[in-house]
Amino acid sequence: MNARMLHQRTISTVFNFRALALVIALSGIGQLRAQPFDTLFTRIYNLPVDTLIVREKATDDPRMKVALLARLVQKYLYLNRQEDCMSTSIRMLGIAEPTGNDTLLGRTHLSIGVSYVIANEVNGALKHFNIALEHFTNGRDSIMMGSTCKELAVLYQRVGDNDGAMRYMRKALAYGMPPGIRSRGLSTMARVFMERGELDSALYYTKEVEMPGSPGEDPWTYAYSNGALAAVYAARHEADLAELHFKRAIAAADSFQLPYPLVQFASGYSSLLMDQGRTAEALAIAQAGFRSAEGVRNPNLLEKSAEAMADAFKASGMADSAFFYAKLCIAYRDSVIETQNRSQLKTQLFAQQLKDMEDAKLRAEEVAARSRNIQFGIIALIVITLGIFLLIFSRTTVVGAKAIKNLSLIALLLFFEFINLLLHPFLDRITNHSPILMLLCMAAIAGLLIPLHHRMEKLITNMLVSKNNRVRLEAARRTIEELEGAGKGDSAGA
C-alpha cells in the first residue's frame, strides 16, 4: 500500500512539474508576442539583409513582420536600393493597414517617406512623414515622434530650408530620439550651422553627438558622425583633427560597404590633403571613393567621385588624366538627368500603387458602411411595418387617419433610401458616375413609389377605418349592456 501511494505521489509530482513547465512556456510565448515594438526592432537591428528576409517569410505575426520589413527598408536605403525600398514599403502597408495599429502604421508611413527620399521626391516624403507623425502622436510614442521630426528636418535641410530644418530638429530634441538617430539629427543641425557660417555652433552640436564605441555598433551613425566632425574641423582649419575623423569615417564606410558616406567623405578628405600639398595621398583617397562609386553604379556618386579624381589629378600635375575625369564627370552629370527621369517613372508607379491601395481601402469602407446602412434600413422598415400591422389588427386600439399618414410617409422615405442604398453601386456603374443621370434614375424610382404609396395608404386607411368602426361599435355595445345591467339592478333593488 505504501509503495502504491509513493508511486502515485511520484506520478503526481511529475505531472505538476510538467504542468508548471507548460505554464511557464506559454507565459514566455505570451511575453514574446507582447513585447513592445521597439524591443522587437532592437533584437533584429544587427541582422544582415538575407537573415531579415528569411525571418520575415517565416513569421505570421504582423508586428514582427513590420519590424523586419522596416529594418530592411533602412538597410536598402544605406545600400541605395531604391526599388527594394519601395516594394518593401508596399508590403509593409498591406500588412499594417488591416491591423489599424498606430505604431505599425506609423512605421510603415515612415518607411514610405524614406522610399520617396531615396527617389528625391520631396512632396511624397513630406506627405508620408506627416502621416507617420500623426500615427505616432495618436499612439503617444514620443520617441518615434522625435525620429519622424528628425527625418522632416533632414528633408527641409536637403531642399535648403534651414529655418524649417531647425524648427523640426528642435521638436525632435524635445520629444527625444533613439541614440543613433539623435546623433544623426545633431549632425544635421551642425550642417545647418555650417551653411550659415556659424562654425562654433556647428562644432558644439557635433561634439554633442553620442559616438558609438566602435563602427560595428552602428556603422552608419559612426561614419556620418565622424564625417560631420571632420567637415567642421576642416572648415575651422584644424587639419589634424579633421584628418583623424575623416580617416575614421572612411574606414567605417569602407568596412561596412556604405557607398554614400565613403564617396562623400573621401572627396572631403581628398580636398583637405590637396590643401596641404599631399597630392599623392589625395589621389589615393579619391581613387578609393571612385572604386566605391563604381561598385554601385549610381550616377550621383560617380559624378562626385569623378570630380574628386579630376581635382586630384590636376593638383598632381597630370593634365591628361584630369581632363579625362573632368569629361567623365560631365558624362555622369548628363547620366544623372536620365537616371532622375527613370527614377521619376518608378516614383510614379510607386505613388500609383499606394493610391490603388488607398482606393481599395476606401471602397471596402464604403461597402461596409453601405452594408451597415442597409441593415439599419431593414430593421427600421420591419419596425414600422410591424407597427402598422399591429395597429391594423389590434382589437382595441383606435388610430386616426393623420397618424397613419405620418407613419406611411416615414415608411415611404425609409423604403426609398433602402432602394437607393441597394441600387447605388449598380446605377453608379451604368451611368458612369454622372450626377444628372443618377438624379433622373432616382426621380424615376420615386415616380414609381409615390403612386404605390398612395394606394397602400388608402388601403391601410380604409382597413383602419373599418376596424375603428368595429371597435367603436363594440365599445358602444358594451357600454349599453353595462347601463342596461345597472338599470335592472336598480329596479330589482326598489
Give the residue from 82, 70, 90 showing the smallest Cα distance to 357.
Answer: 90
When pLDDT is cut at 50, 70 and 90, the band that residue 19 belongs to is very low
Mean pLDDT of 286-292: 85
**172 CB-near residues (< 8 Å, 6+ apart):** 146, 147, 149, 150, 153, 182, 185
The pLDDT value given to residue 107 = 92
User: Which amino acid does the sequence have at 445?
Assistant: I
Each residue's pLDDT tens digit, 132-154: 999 999 988 998 999 999 999 98
- Residue 226: pLDDT above 80? yes
The pLDDT value given to residue 247 = 92
pTM: 0.59
Task: Quote the percentage of the chain above a pLDDT of 70.
Answer: 68
Cα(481)–Cα(479) distance, integer angstroms:
5
Mean pLDDT of 458-487: 69
User: Which amino acid does the sequence have at 160?
Assistant: G
DSSP 79: T
Q: What average pLDDT does the chain have?
A: 77
Helices (H), 217-318: 219-235, 239-255, 259-275, 279-296, 299-315
Higher pLDDT: 330 or 86? It is 86
When pLDDT is cut at 50, 70 and 90, the band that residue 304 belongs to is confident
The pLDDT value given to residue 321 = 84
- Residue 264: pLDDT above 50? yes
* Residue environment code for 372-390, b if the CB has 16+ CB neighbours within 10 A, otherwise e: eeeeebeebbeebeeebee
Q: Cell digits for 59?
A: 513569421
Cα(302)–Cα(153) distance, integer angstroms:
27
**164 CB-near residues (< 8 Å, 6+ apart):** 152, 153, 156
Each residue's pLDDT tens digit, 121-131: 888 888 999 99
